[in-house]
Structure 1
Amino acid sequence: MDDKKIFKILQDWFPILAQQGIPKKKHRQNFQQFLTWILAESEKGSHLMSVVFKSPLDNQLQRCAVLKTLKLNFEDIQQRIEDRVMPLNAHYEKHKDTIGKYYNINDQIFDLVFEEIDTVLKHHNFELLLIYADATYWMAVPNQDVKIHKFCKSFSKQFKNEGICIEHYTKSDCLRST
């Protein structure tokens, strides 16, 4: 297996990552080493952001290097997310006694957060990748289907022993009851 593939693709998408070099072979199969490599701070922002399950509104939009490069207004994007979450929270609060123990509102909030981020990214010809590990991580990558497919396939192989999953985000077609 070419365990350099994911690093090379990321360096192609984000040339600033080429300055770091690719991790040594013994570290390439370790997800924590991958995190250390990709999260190396830059004044231009990060290429991997995390969202903690218990507080999905803390989505690190303002750290995203791609969104910074596009010079988008993070407050407007965050406000749109919060505006979409407000009716969901109100519905949950109203019916909490009935549905409280059977319903995880954070799952729905996660969906809304990622839908809004995905909408913004698609408008600028980028795609959203989600990585499920100790937290949920998101990444904005150029809209290059073949390269995205190769990256996701290689990433899955590389970190399957650690139970780390990746997906190319697609908007849910399920109906919402809010």
Structure 2
Amino acid sequence: MKYKLNLGRKEIIVLALVLIIILIFLIILGAPKNCGTDESCFNTKSSQCDKVKATLNREGNQLYYNILGEKNDNCVVRVTMKKVSEAQQIELKQALEGKNMDCSIPMNLIREKNINSISNIYDYCTGSLKEAFLDITLQKLYELVIKNIGTLASGLQQVLNQSSTI
């Protein structure tokens, strides 16, 4: 037995309008709130891991935060370095600007602290921004060791000399 659905032109238009309204409603509900540069707005929304985005300054650097939502009792956040402080060297700007990292931060930590004040945030992140920060840190550490190698070598020599006389 076949059923034939007879829809008139008016019914099709009404059905299309209802579907469009539902689609718009779903898009509005699913879209993150844009706090712009309002840190207070961002902190309020992010403390509950609500979908929100904002561009905030941290130590002169411009960072774009986009909270993607909650997953496995963690808050998933994408952080993008939009602009490095003007006080920094050009090499640092080239290494960091435009790079991002995805962070999976425990919900209990999100509720306790503002995202941009979590000092060990890199422990929860992966991505090109984190890798660039690590590369820069290692390079600075290497330069510091090379710069002080003479002092370290003479100190080591003194320790060896003292231990051989004992």
TM-score scaled by length of structure 1: 0.22
| Greater helix content | 1
Which structure is higher in RCO with an 8 Å CA cutoff and minimum separation 6? 1
